Chains A and B, each alone.
Chain A
């Protein structure tokens, strides 16, 4: 009798069911909430169609090369981010730890945004929608004051959802409804990531494809709304003079970078489950192009709806003025219409200027309504919800919209959690006997408990802080060291050989130039510009304070010193691991070099690991 043959190590590692699942996971990770609520805003404020020029230049010279680098790295080394960078060079191990740290920090606050989406989703099943009417005040004589002075939509967001405190230092209490939704969100994340890519691979079919369906539905409906063409024209009319402003180029570079979810370690984790001989070059180009096309595709319904909202607001303004004029001058009904409003106004102003002045008419300007541009949560939870109330069948539109946002965010969460999960599985600290389900359960539970901080009254201020400091600067640093590490420490010639072994052809001149020179240079410039801009303006935030004189405008406040310290900590913590680990290994090597029995480790190669 003979023993069964030795099982090769590859079979232990989970695999994607098929290539499509892998591509879909990468696309789902890259396509997130930012494609819907940040890109259209940037297009709008940076001169419409003209913004596409710096955007595509950044995509070509920064996005695609870095994406190809990460995918090739993961596929070749077949390990998560920490082990992969340790394998490339022990001095670069800090890069892996840094990206793991960023994934942890981002997972914490990203799911809280999904909590808000879920809260709106479960509130969309009512008639009328709760953000369309103001509640009454205590003695039922009028509307709630805070709601009356701002709008019902603002009131629902700031009071009923966030129950926001007027200051970041006032923590307020835990909001129980948000805790319930947070628990549900983390339960959903756990359900989908319970066995790693085995389960996310199945879930991604729904969460990655569904948003496109909903976007198409919104596109068709949005284009049929009145005022849609105004919104689209406003969005896409190119204003080439904005290209002179370096801020535009910086925004384009950072948008491409953060949109592709680079330097999180999630992409490395995803591609590490690939078979080694896979064309990662084509994958990288595909994912990057699909991501950018999705941004463009999403901006069309967003701006149709925004145009519709602006037009409706403009018409309401006109109608109110018309009613007051008709009442004042006792003119017959329908004598003044929106079309001849300007003619009538000029006529009446010349004949009875005192009466017109006495009416205190508000000046209605469509451009002013279109100019109200918001990005981020304001776009989704205030502007868009207001537009949805105006559409017939608002419940259905609200439900569709929030499920779409939830799917977009969930597929990005898969990548974040995978970036946390895969390196932990490979660390020797975690014993092999712990089942995967338990490990993912522990991760989700710990994240849920920490994320409870974000359900406090001041939670949304903290999420802004995390987003601006933990989810931005460290990524630039890590990506810079990634490119430098592969190009100059691992040596680009070895990398070329590895990629050639995997894809069957040597990377062409474009890749060589971008990996060696252009991408690192670009990242350095972006980093320096980013830091300079951050330092120039003292960090401030806009607080929602009902007792403020300028209410409903937000109150500009400055962060207190201890909050600033936390901001700096968040930005520096992931980056500090890069020099720390390098220093640690340097010291270890200096101690070991005195030891004569020390044998230097083998030079690693992609083919060697897989043959």
Chain B
């Protein structure tokens, strides 16, 4: 926006407002604020006078304090910031950076660590289970192998396989002898 007489009027009003708020004197008028040496750069000097007669000026330190107190309001009135609306000899106070109670990075770190530990536990438990299953399978296989390896049972010093255990088979000699006995 262009700097014209209306903007100057607004500026005078803001300075008067700041003086009123600071010293609680409701006597400062817009006419008490005087601008001089306005340049194209839009830079100027200004003074605040005491009484309606425009004789004595308010000391500079008071004006500085008043403006410092209301800097924010003055800036917003002109849609400017501390950098673009500069008052020479009034340095801006620095606002501390916002710090949350728990540092954000700790939260993110916690999330990452939880995920990683969960992954490790999952893999380790999976490995243990796989190993248990493999052990069980291999012990079952071993048991089957044991059964296959037939233990040789022994009876009277003669291995059973040698004896024909299939069934008794008829010894022809005895069968023939049966007929010699008289029937009762």
A125 at the interface (CB under 8 A from B): yes
* A442: Cβ under 8 A from any B Cβ: no
A140: which B residues are within 8 A, CB to CB?
94, 96
Binary B-proximity of A119-139 (CB < 8 A = 1, otherwise 0): 101110110100001011000
**A122 contacts B105, CB within 8 Å?**
yes
Among A180, A191, A331, residue most surrounded by chain B Cβ atoms (within 10 Å): A191
Neighbour of A327 across the interface among B41, B94, B104, B112, CB < 8 A? B41
- Decide if A143 is an interface residue (CB 8 Å cutoff): yes
A191 touches B96 (CB 8 A): no
Q: Is the CB of B43 within 8 A of A437?
A: no
A184 touches B123 (CB 8 A): no
- Number of B residues near A (Cβ < 8 Å) is 25
Q: Which residues of B contact A194 (CB under 8 A)?
A: 120, 123-124, 127
Q: How far is the CA of A326 from the CA of B120 in the complex (A)?
A: 63
- Judging by beta carbons under 8 Å apart, are A187 and B116 in contact? yes
Which residues of A178-203 have CB atoms within 8 Å of chain B's CB atoms? 180-181, 183-184, 187-188, 190-191, 194-195, 199
Nearest Cβ on chain B to A457's Cβ, whole angstroms: 20
Q: Is the CB of B40 within 8 A of A187?
A: no
Collect the chain B residues with CB atoms within 8 Å of residue A121's CB. 108
A123 touches B105 (CB 8 A): yes
Question: Closest Cβ of chain A: how far from B137's Cβ, in Å?
Answer: 13
Whether the Cβ atoms of A125 and B108 lie closer than 8 Å is yes
Per the bound structure, the CA–CA distance linking A190 and B122 in Å amounts to 13
Q: Please state if B124 and A437 are interface contacts (CB–CB under 8 Å).
A: yes
- CA A364 to CA B96, docked complex, whole Å: 32
Give the distance in Å from the alpha carbon of A317 to the alpha carbon of B41 in the complex. Answer: 21
How many A-B residue contacts, CB cutoff 8 Å?
A: 72
Q: Is the interface of B mostly helix, strand, loop or mixed?
A: helix
A330 at interface by CB-CB < 8 Å: yes
Q: Which of A1, A187, A199, A333 contacts B41 (CB 8 A)?
A: A333
B43 close to A187 (CB less than 8 A) = no
Q: How far is B48's CA from A197's CA once the two chains are assembled, in angstroms?
A: 80
B59, CB-defined interface residue at 8 Å: no
Q: Does the CB pair A331–B112 fall under 8 Å?
A: no
- In the complex, the answer to whether B104 meets A125 with C-beta atoms within 8 Å is yes
Give Cα A323 to B176, complex, Å. Answer: 140
Residues of A within 8 A of B145 (CB): 1, 3
Select which of B96, B105, B123 is within 8 A of A195 by beta carbon.
B123
How many angstroms from the CA of A199 to the CA of B123 in the assembled complex?
Answer: 9
Partner of B94, one of A1, A136, A437: A136
Please measure, in the bound complex, the distance between the C-alpha atom of A216 and the C-alpha atom of B42, giving whole angstroms: 47
Instruction: Say yes or no: is B60 at the interface (Cβ < 8 Å to chain A).
Output: no
Cβ of B127 and Cβ of A435 under 8 Å apart?
yes
- Minimum Cβ distance to chain A for residue B110 (Å): 10
The 0/1 profile, CB within 8 Å of B marked 1, for residues 1-33 of chain A is 101000000000000000000000000000000
A142 touches B94 (CB 8 A): yes
A298 CA to B47 CA, complexed, in Å: 60
Known: A190-B120, A194-B124, A331-B41. Contact between A143 and B94, CB under 8 A?
A: yes
The reply on A332 being an interface residue by CB < 8 A is: yes
Q: Does B148 contact A (CB under 8 A)?
A: yes
- Which residues of B lie under 8 Å from residue A199 when comparing CB positions? 123
- Find chain A residues with CB under 8 A from B131 CB: 435
Q: Is B94's CB under 8 angstroms from A184's CB?
A: no
Name which residue of chain B comes closest to A120, CB basis. Answer: B105
Whether B120 lies near A187 (C-beta < 8 A) is yes
What residues make up the interface of A, taking CB atoms closer than 8 Å to B? Answer: 1, 3, 118-119, 121-123, 125-126, 128, 133, 135-136, 140, 142-143, 180-181, 183-184, 187-188, 190-191, 194-195, 199, 326-327, 330-333, 435-437
Nearest first, the 10 A-B pairs at minimum CB distance are A1-B148, A332-B40, A122-B108, A330-B39, A122-B105, A330-B41, A187-B116, A123-B105, A126-B104, A191-B119
List 6 additional contacts besides A142-B94, A184-B112, A190-B120; criterion CB under 8 Å: A136-B97, A140-B94, A188-B116, A191-B123, A194-B120, A333-B41
Q: What are 24 inter-chain pairs, A to B, with CB distance below 8 A?
A: A1-B148, A3-B145, A119-B105, A121-B108, A122-B105, A123-B104, A123-B105, A126-B104, A126-B105, A128-B97, A133-B97, A136-B96, A181-B109, A184-B112, A184-B116, A187-B116, A188-B116, A194-B123, A195-B127, A199-B123, A330-B39, A330-B40, A332-B42, A435-B131
